[in-house]
Chains A and B, each alone.
Chain A
Amino acid sequence: MSATVQSRLHLPVPETKNDAGLRRSGYRRRERVYQWLFLAPAVAYLVLFFGFPVVKNVAMSFQDYTTGTFYTGEAPWVGFSNYVTVLSSSLFSTSLINTALFTAGSIAGQFVLGLGLAVFFKRKFPLNGILRSLLLLPWLLPLIVSSAVWRWILDKDSGALNNFLESFGIISTGIPWLTSTSLALAAVVGVNIWIGIPFNVTVLYGGLQDIPDELYEAASLDGATGWRAFRHVTWPMLRPVVSVVLVLGVVYTLKVLDIILGLTNGGPANSTQTIATQSYALSFQNFKFGEGAAMGNILVLISLVFAVLYLRVNRRAVDE
């Protein structure tokens, strides 16, 4: 990418014979160098910390890259063998299904609750602004803090949730939210919904504010209020924002790592293992960096599908 920018910035300036033209072209060239200097550090950073890792990761996925590599410097090329190992592992289908369930569940919950709250906060009432901004807190907390707190709340024996349910007689013994293979994924999704609600509320609320009041006034003259106003005015007008929120949500949720590692570390018995956590485990727990890279690239490919979707949706939103 730097190459593109560089070549574009150093386009040959047509030579002219008269003095004014020469001065002009000299000025322009100097101007271009200046402009390039302002942009260069950022471009260099993006290349080194985003471009390089992606390329390096692709290379590593075709190499037998292990801890030994760090001592010997040797990482023999092995073709697609890392991909074959990763894809044929029984854990892959588990991780893929978990990733799909985690992403779909999180997005559905965050979006529905986020939209509900955004519509709610559209009403005029005292303290609206302050309460809405306090709602942002779960979004701003370090994820590892959130997962620590939730691990304590969801604790089987002394967690607040089980205590609460027991005190109302809803359950008689503690539910093993994070330690049961059948519940852990749902619990992790629940925590991730909690974390994602503020983002959804913020963006959807912004979208709602952009819908002109006149439309609602016109709709109410036609007898459309309440649910019908939402169905025929709010929803169609909000659609572009909704698409952006959903696609961005998917892209961000696919790569979630902190919350799962903090809550369950992928367990129990891999029941919360996703492609992202699996990539981490392969590289940094099993020290099979080549396989971890292959798993990471599969994640990139999946994200890419949604990234393309995002760009198309975004363009349509701008066109509209």
Chain B
Amino acid sequence: MTTNTQPNAAATEAAVRTGPGPLTAVRRQRGTRQGGTRQWGTTALALVFLAVMLFPVYWMINASLQPNGTTLQTSWLPLAPDFTGYATAISQQGRNLGTSLVVALGSVVFSLAIAAPAAYALAYFKVRGAGVVLFAILISQMIPGIVVANALYTAYNDLGLLNSIPGLILADSSHGIPFAILIVRAFMNNMPASVIEAAKVDGAGHLRAFWSIVLPLSRNALITAGLFTFLFTWSDFLFALTLTTTDDVRPVTLGIFQYMGAYVNDWSSVMATAVLASIPAIILLIAAQKYVAAGTTGGAVK
């Protein structure tokens, strides 16, 4: 239920479904063998495209390293890096970064605790309501965040959940739970049923089969779902904006938003905060590569 074109459950399903077929690997291997000048020329062109696409990211880092107050002319290169922006950012937004971290970690734990059993049920049991649940998950992606926020604000007000970390964890998990269910279910669908049947033959009940066989085998999918849930919650702005009204609990996204209003003349601090807020995305870009691509059952079934 992100308010944008961010990685999203339905999109992921589409991507999973349309993902590279078995031929791709073979094709790719054939391709890398024949490197030539022409191919490096294509690489150069790709680098140009990438430079244009990533320029704003470079500019964010560059601007964060400029001395405060030089708003008139930012130099194109941070030749004399100045860390005043970071000092200001940490002293003023450090607490908000901490809040975001706590909320995001809480949301990962909560989302996985809800999503993993559901994914297991949807992948293995012939539950007759399964289709309804999957349909509901897809539809839930289409509900505008502002509609949820509008109704949650009134409910949270009655329940005393405004300006609270549990309140934010619960609301922010609406980004992660549908996504996590879909991605873990897709993974479990590819896991041979014989693994669980073998566990059952050994006398394990559902709970034990789930806990000691299915969960460990789904490690990679759970890590992937967890990483993305972290990122969704960390990036959340709408619930931070609508479900908090005081300084007590303020995620960093809201901190940046309010910074922009009050400190527009001090862009190096805003950009330093933006860089700090981008760290999870950058880590995910490196880490998720491994987990998304990682094989499924490995050597579990011989």
Contacts and interface: CB of A to CB of B under 8 A. Distances in A.
A311 B137 CA distance: 13
A49 B43 contact: no
Interface stretch (B191-199, B217-225, B266-274): B266-274
Contact of B133 (A42, A127, A279, A292): A42
Interface stretch (A16-24, A118-126, A180-188): A118-126
B277 A145 contact: yes
Interface in B152-181: 152-155, 157, 170-171, 173-174, 177-178, 181
B129 A158 contact: no
Contacts, number: 347
Nearest to B57: A137
A142 B281 contact: yes
Interface in A125-162: 125-128, 131, 133-146, 148-153, 157-158, 160
Contacts of A189: none
A9 B170 CA distance: 27
A5 B147 contact: no
B298 interface: no
Interface string A279-294: 1100110000100110
B212 interface: no
Contacts of B267: 152
A50 interface: yes
Contact of B120 (A38, A60, A212): A38
A310 B35 CA distance: 41
B132 interface: yes
B231 interface: yes
A257 B277 contact: no
B5 A257 contact: no
Nearest to A65: B154
Interface residues of B, number: 113
Given A9-B129, A137-B54, A284-B242, A279 B146 contact: yes
A142 B253 contact: yes
Interface string A1-16: 1001100110100000
Nearest to B289: A133
A254 interface: yes
B31 A207 contact: no
A50 B285 CA distance: 29
B38 to A, nearest CB: 8
A255 B145 contact: yes
B32 A276 contact: no
A253 B210 CA distance: 38
B6 interface: yes
A256 to B, nearest CB: 5
A270 interface: no
Contacts of A292: 146, 150
Given A157-B72, A213-B23, A42 B152 contact: no
B50 A131 contact: yes
B56 A252 contact: no
A139 to B, nearest CB: 7
Given A46-B140, A126-B35, A149 B114 contact: no
Interface string B230-261: 01001101100110000000000110110110
Contacts of A202: 15
A259 interface: yes
A134 B144 CA distance: 29
A9 B133 CA distance: 13
A255 B150 contact: no
Nearest to A51: B136
B56 A138 contact: yes
Contacts of A158: 71-74
A38 B125 contact: yes
A134 B50 contact: yes
Contact of A296 (B34, B47, B146): B146
Given A4-B129, A203-B15, A38 B118 contact: yes
A165 B275 CA distance: 26
A272 interface: no
A65 B93 CA distance: 35
B54 A134 contact: yes
B21 interface: yes
A117 interface: yes
A262 B50 contact: no
A134 B285 contact: yes
Interface of B: 1-8, 10-11, 14-15, 18-21, 23-24, 27-28, 31-32, 34-35, 39-40, 42-43, 45-47, 49-50, 53-54, 56-57, 59-60, 63, 71-74, 113-115, 117-118, 120-122, 125, 127-129, 132-133, 136-155, 157, 170-171, 173-174, 177-178, 181, 206-207, 210, 231, 234-235, 237-238, 241-242, 253-254, 256-257, 259-260, 267, 270-271, 274, 277-278, 281-282, 284-285, 289
Rank and list the top 6 A-B pairs by shortest CB-CB distance, nearest first: A124-B31, A42-B118, A5-B129, A142-B235, A53-B151, A255-B144
5 contacts: A49-B152, A124-B28, A140-B285, A261-B241, A276-B144
Interface of A: 1, 4-5, 8-9, 11, 34-39, 41-43, 45-46, 49-54, 56-57, 60, 65, 69-70, 110, 117, 120-121, 123-128, 131, 133-146, 148-153, 157-158, 160, 163, 192, 194-197, 199, 202-203, 206-207, 209-210, 212-213, 241, 244-245, 248-249, 251-259, 261-262, 276, 279-280, 283-284, 289, 292-293, 296-297, 299-300, 303-304, 306-307, 310-311
